[in-house]
Amino acid sequence: MTQITTSSFNRADERHEVPLQAVILAGGSGTRLWPLSRKHFPKQLINLLGDDSLLQATARRLDGLQGTRRVADEVMVVCGEDHRFTTAEQLRQVGRQSRIVLEPVGKNTAPALTAAARLLTQNGRDAIMLVMPADHAITELSAFTRAVSVAADEAADGHVVTMGITATRPDTGYGYIKASGPAGERGALGLEAFVEKPNREVAERYVASGDYLWNSGIFVLRASVWLRLVEHFCTDIGTAVSRAVEHASADRDFVRLDAEAFAASPSDSIDFAVMEHLNRPDSPARGVVVPLTAGWSDVGSWDAIWDLMPKDDAGNVARGRVIFEGASNTFAHSEGRLIACVGTEDLIVVETPDAILVAKTSEVQDVKRVVARLESGASSEAVHHRKVYRPWGWYDSIDCDPRFQVKRIVVNPGAELSLQMHHHRAEHWIVVSGTALVTRGDETVLLSENQSTYIPLGQKHRLKNPGKIPLAMIEVQSGSYLGEDDIVRYEDTYGRN
């Protein structure tokens, strides 16, 4: 193993400035934020704190870095297959070029970061990676920018930098970092140890000592350094992921990792696989900590959302149609229906079209147990919302019965559904607004507002929006089976099976 030294990196920097490359890890599920966060639409894609989703806010965080050093125009995002189109569209909405790497199966953060680093070092290149989870919040962007600038300078010298958050309470939901005195002139601290989530007594001892910081999960290091660390500490991950990248394929704007090779990788986190071993004498790189005081939160549960939001004089937070009467320290979120909270205290209420959560604020960590029970019973509420996003737009299941289902469908301008057929259902389509180009067997018809058509069971069909405004329509399905898996696709613009 070649030892990484400061001097070798300085010589490299004399030839060219290594760019700062954002790598956003977007594979989380956010089960503690159910019913808003679900398997097919997890918390990083939701507007939990403002107009932007957490993913979009993470991408916008790079804006302040543009004037401090060379920053790659393209954001690299690692996410799952189910979220690829929504992820790409959300990044497009905030003006970010993206390179989206698709994980065939979730293997935790270490294989995900290894895939990103391997892609960034192709053809002899290198980059300083700013590794960020897609589902965190940071409220003080100038402080974030300053800390990242320090971290990038440390990473340019070959160090592995982790961003540590000042622990303000003995929280048992975070991992901790034990830091020592200043490790250099830039103000970075020495990294003594990573500590997993402690119990309450241990957490209180950590906070009282003043030697421990929360582990933010934000890292800054060279791509080449990460690969050397993976090679040294977890060879099996490095071998499997390298093979997955070597046999990766291009799928539209996505990088699709080889499924068989990636599945062979062990599942492990960045902390367990590498970071906890940095203080070993044989480590090929040294770890340092840059303190980050920037209003950070991992947005892990509903009490964290309540903590971040502006409150009334009684400590209440209202989102959507909410009325408080004699309530205190209550968080209420409505997706449509009116919520009236009378005399409530220390309560979380979240309403969606198909589920309602009511929980004591002190018990919100146990929401994930509800999700586990829903999953064990194969309940759809654990997987997707009533409103489901697709690459062409979205649909909302308004009503259903064993023999019929009514959907509101919106197709984006220029978008089209696949050429498909159903074995078990027929469909009636009514155009509400916009224009629909309908393929029905061998014929093609153009429908406008208030016009309709009928698709018999077993007939090939396709729907396209040829216009400049969204196409809105009502679909009524009828038949013996109405599941989404009763679709035989013959052609698909988006490469779906």
Which tokens belong to 42?
């997890």
Highest mean pLDDT among 67-81, 159-173, 324-338: 324-338
pLDDT at site 9: 38
Stretch 24-42: mean pLDDT: 92
Please report, rounded to a whole number, the percentage of residues in the chain having pLDDT higher than 70: 96
Burial class (CB in 10 A: 0-12, 13-18, 19+), 329: middle
Least Cα distance to 96 among 198, 24, 17 occurs for 24
Stretch 213-219: mean pLDDT: 95
Write the CA distances from 413 to 25, 428, 436, integer angstroms: 30, 21, 10
Which tokens belong to 479?
């038949």
Which tokens belong to 197?
């989530």
pLDDT for residue 12 is more than 90: no
Single-letter residue type at 5: T
pLDDT at site 334: 97
- Distance, C-alpha 203 to centroid of its chain: 28
Cβ–Cβ < 8 Å for 245, 265: no
Q: What is the dihedral of CA 123, 270, 383, 389, to 10 degrees?
A: -40
Q: For 16-297, CATH number?
A: 3.90.550.10
Beta strand 436-440 with 443-447 is antiparallel
Least Cα distance to 21 among 57, 58, 62, 55 occurs for 62
Find the range with the poorest average confidence among 199-213, 233-247, 255-269: 199-213
> How high does pLDDT run on average in the chain?
91
Please give the Cα distance from 77 to 55 (Å, whole number).
10
Write the CA distances from 71 to 66, 181, 294, integer angstroms: 6, 30, 21
Stretch 449-472: mean pLDDT: 97
Residue whose pair of structure tokens reads 């018809």 in the numeric block: 445
Stretch 153-173: mean pLDDT: 91
pLDDT at site 309: 95
pLDDT at site 11: 40
* 3-class SS of residue 461: strand
Which tokens belong to 355?
């589920």
Which tokens belong to 155?
């990473």
Stretch 451-467: mean pLDDT: 97
Please give the Cα distance from 289 to 215 (Å, whole number).
10
Please give the Cα distance from 173 to 203 (Å, whole number).
10
pLDDT band at 2 (very low <50, low <70, confident <90, very high): very low
Beta strand 425-433 with 471-479 is antiparallel
Single-letter residue type at 487: I
Superfamily of segment(s) 387-491: Jelly Rolls (2.60.120.10)
Rg of the Cα atoms in the chain: 25
Segments making up each domain of the chain, as ranges: 16-297, 302-376, 387-491
pTM of the model: 0.88
Kindly tell me the sign of the dihedral angle through the C-alpha atoms of 262, 266, 271, 277. negative
pLDDT at site 67: 67
Note the helical H segments in 276-334. 302-308
pLDDT band at 168 (very low <50, low <70, confident <90, very high): confident
Which tokens belong to 414?
């220029």
Which tokens belong to 392?
């062409």
Q: Same topology for domains 16-297 and 387-491, yes or no?
A: no
What backbone phi and psi angles, to 5 degrees, belong to 303? -70, -30
